[in-house]
Amino acid sequence: MHINTPDAASTQRLEQLVAKSNCLRLTTSTEYYPDSVGTGLPLLIVETELCSAVISLQGAHLLEFKTVESDALLWLSPNCDFTPGVALRGGVPLCLPWFGVNQAYPDKPKHGFARNSFWELGEAHLLSDGAVELEFLFLSDANELFPYDFSAELRMTLGKSAKLELTINNTDTEDFDCSWAMHNYHRISSLTDVRVLGLAERSYLDNLEGHAEKYQSGDVSFNGPVDRVYPAIENSIRISGSPSIEITHNNCPSVVVWNPGQEAAAKIADIGEGQEQFYICVERGAVLGEKWFMAAGTSKSAWMEFKQV
């Protein structure tokens, strides 16, 4: 497994940035989540007049987010494993430089390796409207999993909403393809009652049946396992339930909707029996046939934003 870890210089820069801010502080998963599984990871806590959030430096991973007026909008598994190099279950994992099973090399880790690696906090600013803007940086040299040099930037703007803007830079001398997704786990109160609006009368690929193409006749409901990719979705998406959440985007053509269902959830160690009732994944990105072609020396950007409505 290709996993980078923070060096002394990046740790010092992180501590200096946090020390200059009135709305950031550092802690660890073992301190913040005393009953959590794993050996522990560094966490960044955000507290402003508008919102609060928890971010893991591994993966630049937004684990929790709520505004002062909203409910908690993300689900974090009570069985999440906070061991370095282990993917974190919940929040907004960033799947990169491929989404899901690697189509060319299925033996490679699912969802790439950016979510399992440490990112550096490059900037932190409190904006005039009270939101905080954080920029995380990731550098990847060619390695056994992905034989190209690339870098990525994730800019989080956390205020009355959570906005994540991803930029991927091909720093190699060769072209490559990459797929990616912001894998949102949204908290819900009732899996039976929740609906996903904005996908009716669209086609989708059913991952439970080998990407068979199917038709969505109405709003998405969850009467069993759901694992679907909806291509070419330009409109915003809404989760109708408690809380009700609107997800908007730019340059994120794919929508992925996922819940493992009761039987599969019980077999997944970092989800656990019954936990499927408390979340659905509604993701935005560029996956499968909508993956990005990255010419050598070029960059591409996209953003996704969610808020309670």
Positive or negative, the CA dihedral 15, 19, 23, 27 is: positive
Distance CA 133, CA 153 (A): 13
Catalytic residues: 183, 283
| Adjacent-strand bridge partners of 47 | 52
Q: Which two tokens stand for residue 260?
A: 């493992």
| Adjacent-strand bridge partners of 62 | 55, 92
Contact status, residue 238 vs residue 198, Cβ threshold 8 Å = yes
Please report, for residues 86, 185, 194, 273, 275, the alpha-carbon distance to residue 267 in angstroms, rounded to integers and kept in the order given: 17, 18, 23, 7, 11
| Adjacent-strand bridge partners of 216 | 202
Closest CA to 294 of 116, 119, 97, 102: 97
